[in-house]
A and B are shown apart, each in its own frame.
Chain A
Amino acid sequence: MINLVFYFQVHQPYRIRNFSVLDIGKGKDFFDDELNGEVMRKVANKCYLPTNKLMLELIDKFEGRFRVSYSITGTAIEQFRKYCPEVLYSFRDLAKTNCVEFIGETYYHSLSFLYDKDEFLDQVKMHRDTIKKEFGFSPITFRNTELIYQDTLSDYIWEEEGYKVILTEGVDRILDWRSPLYSYKDKNKNMMMLLKFYSLSDDIAFRFSNKGWVEYPLTVDKFVKWIRDLNLIEKGKKNLYLNLFMDYETFGEHQWEETGIFEFMRALPGKALRSQQIDFAWPSDVLQKTNYQPESISFPEPVSWADMERDLSAWRENDMQYNALETFYEILPKIKAAGDPALIEMARKLSTSDHYYYMSTKYFQDGDVHKYFSPYGAPETGYRNFMNAITDLEERI
């Protein structure tokens, strides 16, 4: 049996406005309220609301056999509440079906794991509390920001109550000859692991509307056939997991409605379930369904799901990114020590990984995804605004 494990990432950062040196120390808000509201309302109408509606329909139709999971960041939840509460209500409706699993992560979608263990665990706890409060769900599956993972992450998370499953990228250089379709255990064998099957995930998330792609257009029949072909490799009775992990914004935002992405998703469960070998599963199902002894797998170096490199280079490659991160994690403890909750909250919003992603110069010239996601004309502008914002907080201590 092959289990389709859909996990959708739902995230919106607090984008920083053009913030000059002259704005420092004046108690001004450096987040771009107008832009953040505009983006949230746009994405809500194009993606969150119609896709949630579709998921509800599908869950209803297949009476529990269609299962999906979500990781919704704290900054996204806050902004739903602020700019578009109906999105939050529709996620609550999904939660009420009991056919949705919520996944834990850092509240601020941050890179704190790489710099500050205490801060990382604080943010994990904050997120856990929020998911419990908003959706009545205590996560047992964890995924770190952008699927960033290395061995120590499992050790950190293991110390936290309740987490039993962890998700990350199925990186070729780690997997080597192994298949991402199996479940694995982390290096110290404490957690169960699921690895993203990136080619089929990205066929939906990135290539779906690419007319230059040889497989265009991607039909449900074609996709289900590919899945069945995968299953043929494993003739035994082992439970396999096809982990389709992607941004939720794939639906309607990265892939517009006109591309047919909604029709694709609407037809997929029926076609898939018609085959006797395909089922849907939550990440946490792996704990019951795994009918073999999972192998332990080690990630000595950090990996992620970003860019071709699948490493940290989207957020930490050039000098601006290093300097910004080092400055932030030098100042954050000082702000926490001073104890002003409002300042701590603002600082933590600056821990969101997107700020460092905007500073990437990797593909900027090619007008690649970094540019698509960036609210700034140039990486240097993002850097300047960020550095001025963190300096403002430092001056306010």
Chain B
Amino acid sequence: MRVLMFTWEFPPLISGGLGTACYGIVKGLLKKGVEVDLVLPTKEEVYFPMRKESDVDDLPIKFISPQKEIEFNNTVFTTSTEKYQYVGISSVPESYISVKEIKSFYDYFKVFVERSEYKTKVPFQEVLNNIMGSENIFEKVKEFTLRAQRYAQTLDYDLIHAHDWLTYPAGIVAKTVSGKKLVCHIHATEFDRAGGAGDIRIHNIEYSGMTEADSVIAVSRYTAEMVISRYLIDTAKISVVHNAHNIDIKESEHKKRLFKDPVVLFLGRITLQKGPDYFLEAARIILKKYPKVRFVMAGAGDMEKKIVHKSAKYRLKNRFLFTGFLNGSHVAEMFENSDIYVLSSVSEPFGIAPLEAMSYSLATIISKQSGVAEVIQNAIKVDFWDVKLLAHHIIELIEKPEYRKKLGLAGRHEVELIKWDKACDEIIQVYKKTMKRQLS
């Protein structure tokens, strides 16, 4: 079986959990013999033909244009970074098609809208109406969508799999031109990101994608319920496949220490969705009573400045620190050097970071408003808004190092069982079911 997969993030092109999840999914699929042609928002028109497990790290590159493929093969690269730069894939997504091409977007889409064989099948008008906007991200989504037709016609595959709204329009285009079935994977909805009703254009694109999809995969029951109640998607085509992780850490003899005092960690994007302000409020309560704790907020995001200023306003001295953006190896190091992990998300479709934290034996506290709460037992669960209770639990873990250690170890053993292998079996089941529907 071969899958044409559209996604916005994949290591090294990554900004959050989506990239981590896609990496785990593709690796798991390859292990089970499912091949993947991966399409990313690259500058050049390339795809990544994944055929064996090691390909997720090697990222083999193929150009759609045979001419460019020859040029590429004749270019010598000393590092893989150089190679990624050549095709325009870096740690930060950037614009990759000329403005002229974007201008032709509406003409291009009009063709789909007007062609009778597509007219009734696909909510193109819906996408066309809602993909408007000149913000950077919308421009990029347009660019990405423009290319979908060429990928769909050139490549050979059995099924289309699109991750999150950014790639749904591309998924719809590919489905239309190829007649293949479409699986839309929902990692986060606009409701999660915005902490309530968000950008109406994004809601509409999410709705179009899920409506047009033959199957929808939600990363948790929490998310599935949202998909059903807010987007009114047919329950029969929704499957829940919980996220997992691939971390394999050898239990180290000695805990690494950056600080003499216990470290309480927030790690993730510093955005409204992740509830960094609730973490800060809890820290404020705790530091009044226990000045000998270090709180570390690791990551970057649009609320970072606000939290920096607020932590300074509370005069938390150097007991509340910031790391700035962390790359993969730094994330691991941060976990190694922490004692307690807190997921304070306001709305978290899944939340892979707590699984990572637990695999590093960190005592973990997670928001009840998360998908991950459905799959783990050995973590403390609190409502994100209940900062007093959150503070109470953190204090308890600080006061009782034995309890902290016990919870950390139990968590570690528990998450060892939550691997992508099992999740990918479930995804393949969804694929098979979806393709069977095509036959009948």
Q: Residues of A with Cβ closer than 8 Å to B?
A: 18, 20-22, 24-25, 318-320, 322-324, 326-327, 330-331, 378, 380-381, 383-384, 387-388, 390-391, 394-395
Contact = CB atoms under 8 A, between A and B. Distances in A.
A322 B313 CA distance: 8
A391 B296 CA distance: 12
Interface stretch (B26-34, B203-211, B302-310): B302-310
A380 B304 contact: yes
A323 B330 contact: no
Contacts of A387: 318, 321-322
Given A25-B257, A330-B317, A320 B323 contact: no
13 contacts: A21-B258, A21-B296, A21-B298, A21-B321, A22-B326, A322-B315, A330-B317, A380-B304, A380-B305, A383-B308, A384-B321, A384-B324, A387-B318
Contacts of B250: none
Nearest to A331: B318
B257 A320 contact: no
B349 to A, nearest CB: 28
B259 A395 contact: yes
Contact of B315 (A18, A323, A384, A395): A323
Contacts of A18: 324
Given A381-B324, A387-B322, A395-B260, 17 more contacts: A20-B323, A20-B324, A22-B323, A25-B259, A319-B312, A320-B308, A322-B312, A323-B311, A323-B312, A323-B315, A323-B316, A324-B312, A327-B318, A331-B318, A378-B305, A394-B318, A395-B259
B330 A20 contact: yes
Interface residues of B, number: 27
Contact of A319 (B259, B260, B309, B333): B309
A395 B258 contact: yes
Contacts of B312: 318-320, 322-324, 383
A20 B258 CA distance: 11
Contact of A384 (B260, B308, B310, B313): B308
B91 interface: no
Interface pairs A-B: 8 shortest CB-CB? A319-B312, A323-B312, A319-B313, A320-B312, A391-B318, A21-B323, A327-B317, A384-B322
Nearest to B311: A323
A381 B313 CA distance: 17
Contacts of B259: 24-25, 391, 395
Interface of B: 257-260, 296, 298, 304-305, 308-313, 315-318, 321-324, 326, 330, 333-334, 337
A318 to B, nearest CB: 7
Contacts of A20: 323-324, 326, 330
A387 to B, nearest CB: 5
Nearest to B297: A21
A217 to B, nearest CB: 41
A25 B258 contact: yes
Nearest to A320: B312
| Residue of B257, B258, B312 most packed against chain A (CB within 10 A) | B312
Contact of A22 (B313, B316, B334): B334
Contacts of B257: 25
A397 to B, nearest CB: 10
B308 A326 contact: no
Given A322-B315, A323-B316, A330-B317, A21 B309 contact: no
A387 B317 CA distance: 8
| Residue of A20, A318, A394 most packed against chain B (CB within 10 A) | A20
Contacts of A395: 258-260
Given A24-B259, A380-B305, A323 B317 contact: yes
Contacts of B323: 20-22
A387 B311 CA distance: 12
B337 A22 contact: yes
Contacts of A322: 312, 315
Contacts of A330: 317
A24 B337 CA distance: 11
Contacts of B316: 323
Contact of B317 (A320, A326, A381, A383): A326
| Residue of A18, A25, A380 most packed against chain B (CB within 10 A) | A380
A394 B333 CA distance: 21
A21 B256 CA distance: 14
Contacts of B317: 323, 326-327, 330
A25 B317 CA distance: 18
A320 B330 contact: no
B321 A391 contact: yes
A380 B316 CA distance: 15
Contact of A21 (B311, B315, B322): B322
A319 B311 CA distance: 8
Contacts of A21: 258, 296, 298, 321-323, 334
Contacts of A318: 309, 312
A326 B308 CA distance: 16
A368 to B, nearest CB: 18
A320 B260 CA distance: 24
Contacts of B321: 21, 384, 387-388, 391
A324 B312 CA distance: 8
Contact of A380 (B308, B313, B326, B330): B308
A218 B318 CA distance: 48
A20 B326 CA distance: 9
A391 to B, nearest CB: 4
A383 B163 CA distance: 37
A331 B291 CA distance: 14
Contacts of A326: 315, 317
Contacts of B337: 22
Nearest to A386: B318
B295 to A, nearest CB: 10
A239 to B, nearest CB: 49
A382 to B, nearest CB: 11
A291 B337 CA distance: 69
A48 B318 CA distance: 37
A18 B326 CA distance: 13
Contacts of B298: 21
Contacts of A327: 317-318
Contacts of A378: 305
A323 B298 CA distance: 20
A20 B322 CA distance: 8
B67 to A, nearest CB: 40
A378 B308 CA distance: 12
Contacts of B315: 319, 322-323, 326
Nearest to A20: B323
A166 B41 CA distance: 63
A395 B258 CA distance: 8
Contacts of B309: 318-320, 380
A327 B287 CA distance: 14
Contacts of A323: 311-313, 315-317
A366 to B, nearest CB: 17
Nearest to A18: B324
Contacts of A384: 308, 321-322, 324
B244 to A, nearest CB: 27
Contacts of B324: 18, 20, 381, 384
A320 B305 CA distance: 11
Contacts of B313: 319, 323
